[in-house]
Amino acid sequence: MNDLHERARQAHALWAQGRARLAAGDLDTAYRLLTEAHDLVTDCPALHREAHRQLLAVNRVNGRRGEEFTDRLLLALAPLGVFTLIARFFRSKVTGETLCRRAA
C-alpha cells in the first residue's frame, strides 16, 4: 500500500479507534490499533510524529516504560528533524509531500 493519502486516512481512523479503546480501558486493543497506525506512516515525518504522540498516551497508561521513553525522546527531538532522518533511513519517497512536512 503506497498511496500516502490512503495510508493517512487509515492511520487517522486507527487513531480514532485506538483512542476510543483507550478511553474504554481496553489497553491491549488500543496499543494494537495505534501500533498498526504507526506502521503505516513511518516514512512520513509529520504523521510518524503524530503516531508517537498517540502511542505515548497508551504506553503511559500501560506502563510500557521503555516505549514511553522512546516516544518522549523522539517527540523531544522532533524540532531537530529526527522524524525526517528516520524517513530517510526508510528511503521514503514521500518526505517532501505537504502532508509529511514537519510543520504539517
| Domain at 60, CATH number | 1.25.40
Cβ distance 31 to 61 under 8 Å? no
* Residue in the block written with cell 521514503: 92
Question: 33, exposed or middle or buried, with CB in 10 Å at 0-12, 13-18, 19+?
Answer: buried
Residue type, 70: T
For the whole model, what pTM was predicted?
0.88
Domain extent, residue 54, equals: 4-100
Task: Count the domains in the chain.
Answer: 1
Residue 104: what pLDDT?
A: 42
- 6 CB neighbour count, 10 Å cutoff: 11
Q: For each of the chain's 104 residues, which pLDDT tens digit applies? A: 469 999 999 999 999 999 999 999 999 999 999 999 999 999 999 999 999 999 999 999 999 999 999 999 999 999 999 999 998 887 777 777 777 876 54
